[in-house]
Structure 1
Amino acid sequence: MRPTRVDRPIAVHPFPAAMLAGSFFMLLGALLSDITYFRSYHIQWQNFASWLIVGGLVLSAFAVLFSLFDLRAARRTRAAVIYALLVIAMWIVGFFNALMHARDAWASMPGGLVLSVITVVLGLVATVMAFRRVRTGELQ
């Protein structure tokens, strides 16, 4: 019998990973709405961005909650800690982004656009971490 390599996923349950992926696309939509608002000055794009940010925060709250449960459990690996910190940072920056978008029309620019970019980058890195597989190097 030849030895096989064992793959072990990072401690992310499928439900919070799906919530994180859904929130990433909502936050990406908010970023695209911000870019469109920055170029067109149509207020409705800012409203779209505000609602998409709130939707992304609601979905990513599940990922934050589950990442905290994983840290509390016996799965406290380095990857799980980095993942939890990324998800929490994404949620906090997204929350401040929602507050920035609550301002009156053009007062949310360019700060809202910058916070949207930061939120999307953090969300992308956290989503990639949630769905990638770690090679342990163990042979069976």
Structure 2
Amino acid sequence: MKATNDHTYQRGLPLFHAIPLIGALLLFLGTTLSDYAYSSTYHLQWVVLASWLNIGGLILISLAFLSAILSFFHARQRSIMLLIYPALLLLTWILSTVNALIHFQDAWALMPISFALSMVVTIFSGASAWVGFSRFGHGGKP
């Protein structure tokens, strides 16, 4: 009798999907930290930086959402649990778009809501990254 060593490896997220997902989380975290720095110092450079970081995160979360939709339709078994991940990405995209529109206002007008919304976007981006790297995000069994 011959002994065989069969390993089954868990397939992770594709590289084109993982990089925008983590990049968006880091850019949204930078947006939150820039909004905090503006609330502490009132230097306008922090508002401009937060606006650019938010737009970069919005572009990357859009790429991650498109990749999640493609992987959902490419999955062998579709279940309702696989829709949680694209739904979180879509909610993050919507909140980030609202945050970008708020950042286009005057610097004095955006402060009370901008910092709070940046924190919410960062939390949702982190939750979507967590779900994306879990087994639910890429078509694996729970």
TM bracket (short chain): 0.7 to 0.9
Q: Alpha-carbon deviation of 1:9? A: 5.4
Q: Secondary structure at the match of 1:107?
A: coil
> Would you say the 8 A contact 1:70–1:80 is kept in 2?
no
Give unpaired runs (5+ residues) of structure 2.
Answer: none
Over 6 Å off, 4+ runs: 4-7
1:117 match: 119
CA root-mean-square deviation: 2.5
What CA distance in whole angstroms lies between the structure 2 residues aligned with 1:101 and 1:30?
10
Q: Secondary structure at the match of 1:61?
A: helix
> How far apart, CA to CA, are the structure 2 residues paired with 1:47 and 1:108?
12
TM-score of the two chains, using structure 1 as the length reference:
0.84
Higher strand share: 1
Structure 1's unaligned 5+ residue stretches are: none
Given that residues 29 and 52 in structure 1 are in contact (C-alpha distance below 8 angstroms), is that contact kept between their aligned partners in structure 2? yes
Cross-structure match for 1:44: 45
2:105 aligned partner? 103
Contact 2:54 2:96 in 1 (8 A): yes
Is the aligned partner of 1:89 residue 2:101? no
User: Identity across aligned pairs (percent)?
Assistant: 34
- CA pair 36-86 structure 1, distance change in 2 beyond 3 A: same
State the SS of the aligned residue for 1:106: coil
* TM superposition shift of 1:5: 9.9
Residue in structure 2 matched with residue 59 of structure 1 by the alignment: 60
Cα offset, 1:14, TM superposition: 2.8
Deviation at 1:41, TM superposition (A): 0.6
One-letter amino acid matched to 1:82: I
Taking a change above 3 Å as real, the CA distance of residues 132 and 74 of structure 1, as seen in their structure-2 partners, is: closer
Conserved 8 A contact 2:27-2:57: yes
In the aligned structure 2, how far is the partner of 1:91 from the partner of 1:7? 32
CA distance in 2, matches of 1:28, 1:111: 16
Aligned residues: 136
Contact conserved, 1:54 with 1:98, CA < 8 A, in 2? yes
Q: How far, CA to CA, are the matches of 1:32 and 1:79 in structure 2?
A: 32
* TM-score (norm: length of structure 2): 0.83
2:28 is paired with a residue of what secondary structure? helix
Asked if the contact 1:100/1:112 (under 8 Å) is kept, the reply is yes
CA contact (8 A) 1:87 1:126 kept: yes
